[in-house]
Chains A and B, each alone.
Chain A
Amino acid sequence: MIDIIISAIFSDNLALSFFLGMCTFMAVSSRVETAAGLGVAIIVVQTITVPLNNLVFHTLLSENALQWAGIANQDLSFLKLIAFIGIIAAMVQILEVVLDRFSPALYSALGVFLPLITVNCAILGASLFMVERHYNFTESIAYGFGSGVGWALAVVLFAAIRERLNQQRIPDGLRGLGLAFIITGLISMGFSAFTLS
């Protein structure tokens, strides 16, 4: 369990080893505060959707999963992409409503990010990895949480660096996204050191 969490945060970091969710990663990383907000939103959504998708996958989609309904020898796992996206979208919307109702302050801090997350490939990526790696339900909770934390960590780190860079003189050609991608590359090399142990 701890293994899964740690490796999801560091060596298998979604943003820095798999470069998933890059568009959001670049777009909201100009300030640490916003990055942290988005990070928390991602952690919450990840921790909910990965286990939920695990449940759906194992009760409906995987090979012979439908045996409980008396249907044998069916493998619907090709449906996982579309099913997962639907579930993620629904969960994000429900989360939005729940936050809106019960915690307006949190809603206004995270609310703006929730729609962004629906289409974030890191979220879908985590669910697909969960299938590929045959995690069971508890493991998928751990993985969801870990991968969320990993992504949040990466975006906050990166935002902190970018905040600093904003005050530096940077050659014209490198300004903005150019340098941002180079830095992502460098941090990612740093993170890949975790794999070696």
Chain B
Amino acid sequence: MNTIILATIIITTLVVFLSLLVQQIRRALLPDRLVSVMVNHSRKLPAHAGSKLLDALASENILLPSGCAGAGTCGLCKVTVTAGGGSVLPTERGRLSDTECERGVRLACQLTVRDDLEITVAEEVFTAQHWNCTVTSSKYLSPLIKEITLELPADAEFYFDAGAYVQVTTPPFACKFSDFHVDDRYREQWQQMNLSRLTVHSDVAETRAYSIANHTQDKRHIVLLIRLALPPQSTDLPPGKVSSWLFSLQNNDQVEISGPFGDFTVHDHRRPMVLIGGGVGMAPLRAIIHQQVRDNTNQDIRFFYGARSLTDLFFQKEFDQLAQNNKHFTWTVALSEPATNDQWSGERGFIHDVVRQQFIDGNPQADQCDYYLCGPPLMLKAVITMLKQAGIDEAHIYSDNFEI
């Protein structure tokens, strides 16, 4: 009996003591203070010391884009810190280039506010709009890529720079791949990959970024190119949430979007442009090409696009025609693994090799061009390495990284 009482007393005292200790230390070291965050030299906001900058701004209704719920993996929540903030954290390094680090760019979701801060955020954060759009068409471009057209609510108009992206937010949902409508052309491939076994669900709203693929002058529609994010082969992991949800949509379904965001836009309207892309990296590049051609900027525009085989290639006619009608625009497709029945007489190989052979090697003008890259992470990496080896200045390479 004594032992029980004694044990209870001791363990209770110990636990209470430990809890008090932790609390006291926390209070002593991380007191709840209010500090101020100066945004764009004009708005001064209060923030709790110890909170993340992303949350602090959000509670003051400044909603930075964020595609990873603050995990530090999407790199969308960039802000430029002009005073305070400490040094760049290892968790931010992966998403910031060396030049960005030097300029004071930080990830708001990783930066803990400790003292007064001065930051600048893109103006678009204040001007970004929010809409419920309606799906007006949804069609397959390749086995795993769909073109989804959204119409804005009546009377709304959408102004954006070519190359920008919007954020799509899903409701909580569940969907089965077996319920998807699959194009007859691709049914066999879907069966081969046994995709109908896949299911995916989300109990919370999810937000992801998607580039706008249409002409900037169409102010009533937003066209997205969506690549279905499949799980790594021979795993039981679920497929990508938002891309699956977008694939499940049918005409007249509602989609919540906000935007436009992003700085992957044309930086110089005189220098010749070389655009290099693959997969759904097509989206922002297509918008940029159409904008530049329509604005008649008289820049030479070269577009290199890499696909695996002919089934993965889309918009071929459109660009062929554009090239025919416009002497400043040329485009080159390279297939890395043409299928046996593809009857392909064009370029073969990886796009970075093709760009080097066709454009870089022996071209004295190569370092006079601006390079715009968008595509799968591995491709981007290979192209950037190739360009740097060829002596192209990093300041003239712009890339949009989709990987998060």
> Which parts of B67-122 form the interface with A (CB within 8 Å)?
86-87, 89-91, 110, 112, 114
Bound complex: CA A74 to CA B90 (Å): 51
Nearest-CB residue, chain B, relative to A104: B86
Say yes or no: A90 contacts B110, CB within 8 Å.
Answer: no
Say yes or no: A108 contacts B110, CB within 8 Å.
Answer: yes
What is the interface of chain A mostly: helix, strand, loop, or mixed?
helix
Say yes or no: B18 contacts A86, CB within 8 Å.
Answer: yes
Tell me if A82 counts as interface (CB < 8 A to partner B).
yes
Choose from A76, A105, A108, A109 the contact partner of B10 (Cβ within 8 Å). Answer: A76
Interface string of A47-61 (1 = CB under 8 A from B): 000000000100011
Say yes or no: A176 contacts B11, CB within 8 Å.
Answer: no
Bound complex: CA A63 to CA B22 (Å): 29
Choose from B22, B86, B89 the contact partner of A90 (Cβ within 8 Å). Answer: B22
Bound complex: CA A90 to CA B86 (Å): 28
Residues of B within 8 A of A3 (CB): none
A/B pair count, beta carbons within 8 Å: 67
Bound complex: CA A93 to CA B19 (Å): 10
Tell me if B204 counts as interface (CB < 8 A to partner A).
no
Choose from B3, B10, B90, B234 the contact partner of A175 (Cβ within 8 Å). Answer: B234
Say yes or no: A87 contacts B25, CB within 8 Å.
Answer: no
Say yes or no: B235 contacts A176, CB within 8 Å.
Answer: yes
Residues of B within 8 A of A1 (CB): none
Bound complex: CA A56 to CA B15 (Å): 13
Bound complex: CA A176 to CA B22 (Å): 39
Residues of A within 8 A of B86 (CB): 104
Tell me if B7 counts as interface (CB < 8 A to partner A).
yes
Choose from B6, B15, B91 the contact partner of A86 (Cβ within 8 Å). Answer: B15
> Which parts of A105-125 form the interface with B (CB within 8 Å)?
105, 108-109
Bound complex: CA A172 to CA B2 (Å): 60
Binding site for A on B (CB under 8 A): 2-3, 6-7, 10-11, 14-15, 18-19, 21-22, 25-26, 29-30, 50, 86-87, 89-91, 110, 112, 114, 234-235
Binding site for B on A (CB under 8 A): 56, 60-61, 66, 71, 74-76, 78-79, 82-83, 86-87, 89-90, 93-94, 97-98, 100-101, 104-105, 108-109, 172, 175-176
